[in-house]
């Protein structure tokens, strides 16, 4: 489905076995030198989501780990396959960073724009665990019009072209809706991006 131009939603793209492997990988990422942390925003607000960043960390206030853990090649390949699935070709997508967000009890993400990247390349989003409401807004501001889309474990979303700079957020996660075999309480979201930074 294409809820907005350039925003392609592929429900159930990842088979359950692959979802389990990704959940295990996300757990491992947090066991190494990196940890899932609450981001403190420039205004002093603390995000309810906990995040970890692999590869290049480029946003001054977000993803601010001093440790750099290389982005695994298999994740780069998965990102390419995702863009090819959405657009029919990977367009040379070369992600250099992965942001992993963990939504525990009551976590949400307010409407925002991802404008730190210096690249017009698409953003690939993979959802794991609990279902959520993803709000796809417009490029003008945080307000309406927006489209609410439910995202479930295994769903792929690619945001590129006209949708690359739209406001978006996650107003709600539905606790306990993940497949029990995932062994995940909460929701994980992996985004693959090109920072466009040196
Ligand atoms: C649309 N994360 O980390 S992923 C974020 O589910 C973020 O954790 C949400 O928004 C999450 O910045 C949504 C989907 C997403 C990511 C980047 C986008 C949608 C986007 C960039 C432009 C447009
Ligand atoms: Fe975002």
* Closest ligand (CA of 134): 1
| Vertex 75 angle, CA 49 and 134, to 5° | 35
Nearest-atom number in ligand 1 for the CA of 166 is 23
**Ligand 1 pocket by C-beta < 6 Å: which residues?**
99, 101, 109, 114, 123, 125, 157, 159, 163-164, 166, 168, 170, 189, 191
pLDDT, tens digit (0-9, with 9 covering 90-100), for 120-165: 999 999 999 999 999 999 999 999 999 999 999 999 999 999 999 9
ipTM: 0.96
Q: Are strands 147-151 and 187-193 parallel, antiparallel or unpaired?
A: unpaired
Q: Considering only CA atoms, which residue is closest to atom 15 of ligand 1?
A: 125
pTM for this prediction: 0.97
Q: How far apart are CA 45 and CA 60, in angstroms?
A: 15
Q: Considering only CA atoms, which residue is closest to atom 17 of ligand 1?
A: 123
Q: Domains in the chain, ordered, with CATH? A: 7-193 (2.60.120.590)
């Amino acid at each position: 489905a294409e809820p907005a131009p350039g925003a392609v939603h592929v429900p159930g793209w990842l088979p359950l076995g692959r979802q389990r492997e990704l959940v295990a990988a996300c757990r491992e990422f947090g066991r190494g030198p990196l940890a899932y942390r609450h981001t403190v925003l420039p205004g002093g607000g603390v995000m309810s989501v906990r995040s970890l960043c692999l590869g290049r960390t480029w946003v001054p206030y977000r993803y601010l780990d001093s440790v750099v853990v290389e982005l695994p090649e298999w994740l780069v390949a998965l990102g390419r396959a995702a863009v090819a699935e959405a657009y029919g070709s990977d367009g040379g997508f070369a992600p250099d960073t992965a942001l992993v967000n963990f939504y525990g009890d009551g976590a949400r993400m307010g409407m925002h724009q991802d404008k730190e990247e210096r690249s017009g390349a698409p953003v690939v989003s993979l959802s794991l665990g609990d279902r959520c409401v993803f709000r796809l807004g417009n490029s003008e501001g945080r307000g309406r019009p927006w489209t609410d889309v439910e995202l479930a474990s295994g769903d792929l979303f690619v945001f590129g072209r006209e949708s690359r700079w739209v406001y978006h957020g996650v107003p709600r996660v539905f606790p306990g809706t993940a497949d029990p075999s995932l062994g995940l309480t909460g929701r994980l979201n992996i985004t693959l991006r090109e920072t466009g930074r040196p």
